[in-house]
Amino acid sequence: MLSILNYLGKSSVHQQRSFMSAEVGSNVTLHCSYGTEAARYYWYKQSLGQKLQIISISYKFDKSGEFHDEFQDNPRFTVKTNDGKSQLNIFHLKPSDTGTYFCASGISFVFEFGEGVTVSVKNPVLENTSWIRQSESGTVQMGSSVTLNCTVQTGSCGGEHSVYWFRHSGESHPGLIYTHGGSSDQCGKSPNTQTHTCMYDLPIRNLNKSHAGTYYCAVISCGQVLFGNGTKLDVEGEAVSLSLVYFLSAALIFTIILSVLLAFTLHKMHKRNSCQTSGKCPPNQPGVHRVAGDLHYAAVNVNQLSRPRRHRKSTESECVYSRLFRVKD
């Protein structure tokens, strides 16, 4: 079974740009670099809504490449591979060249793909009758909602549309996020110009950092592919949220420490009050410790020599008891 690895960021295959716009008749060069040496190097094309098409295969010691299918013997396509780098040249661009181009490397049965470069070929002749307009770029707050608009005019062609939404951001590679799938329910026809205009919406709710990026609307209609200029969406409020998290975390830690100290203080106060109530408090003299059941009593006789004779009989002697504590060494 053939194993295909497409790490999207962890791959050793990298492509320089993610989106290119060019006019019909111009030339483009797509670049690819390989972090590791491989036995085979590939170029693929994927049109909107279609499967991957292989363009060429270059072997380790064959720098020019071997083209396949419709790209074979087509002088508009050339490949040059050398020193861990490969470039695909496309001359005299046509509207059918619109699509996403991937480079890949292969060792044994393991393939690694690059991020892909989307090429949009615009025809100035058709721009007067066919065009796409998208919402203005803007900044929104985290947690809020926004709706992106895509207005499509296709001239006199009234067929069904296939609408695609792409998102590209600095932290992720371009990717298809939504497809309207050939619905013309939101289209209308102008009676004066006989043109068809359609409107498509992309609602995004509960915005967060991952939603930031540039959103592109692409439409396939009457055999041609139209790309919008993109709507850049910035999401702010992350710093405020992080500060609030840090503040609440610090407040929680302080509350826990304060609660522990308060509980310890109340325990000591309760213990002292219980001791005073029962009369069993230990002496405050330093180094003296009371030991239960280890008390010694001593009787002391005091002779009253200085008293008159008449008092000697009644109080011949007085007995004084003294309680001794054992002093802990």
DSSP, residue by residue, 81-96: EETTEEEEEE-S--GG
Other residues' Cβ atoms within 10 Å of the Cβ of residue 245: 10
The confidence score (pLDDT) of residue 114 equals 87
Query: If you average pLDDT over residues 92-97, what whole number do you get?
Result: 91
The confidence score (pLDDT) of residue 90 equals 96
The confidence score (pLDDT) of residue 4 equals 42
The confidence score (pLDDT) of residue 79 equals 92
Rounded Cα distance between 201 and 8, Å, is: 28
Mean pLDDT rounded to a whole number for the chain: 76
The confidence score (pLDDT) of residue 285 equals 46
Strand partners, 59: 40
Rounded Cα distance between 106 and 112, Å, is: 7
The confidence score (pLDDT) of residue 9 equals 43
Task: Map out the domains of the chain as residue ranges.
Answer: 13-122, 124-236
CA nearest 153: which of 196, 216, 188?
A: 196
Question: Do 124-236 and 13-122 fall under one CATH topology?
Answer: yes
The confidence score (pLDDT) of residue 303 equals 53
The confidence score (pLDDT) of residue 1 equals 33
Q: Is the pTM of this model over 0.75?
A: no
Is pLDDT larger for residue 184 or for residue 115?
115
61-65, 171-175, 202-206, 216-220 — which one is most confidently predicted on average? 202-206
Handedness of CA 152, 157, 159, 162 (dihedral sign): negative
Model pLDDT for residues 240-269, shown as the tens digit of each residue: 556 778 888 999 999 999 999 998 888 888
Is the predicted pLDDT of residue 170 greater than 80, yes or no?
Answer: no
- Asked if CATH classification 2.60.40.10 holds for the domain at 13-122, the reply, yes or no, is yes
% of the chain surpassing 70 pLDDT: 69
pLDDT category at 271 given cuts 50, 70, 90 is: confident
Model pLDDT for residues 25-59, shown as the tens digit of each residue: 999 999 998 877 777 889 999 988 788 999 999 88
- Asked if CATH classification 2.60.40.10 holds for the domain at 124-236, the reply, yes or no, is yes
Please say whether the beta carbons of 79 and 104 come within 8 A: no
The confidence score (pLDDT) of residue 227 equals 83
Strand partners, 17: none
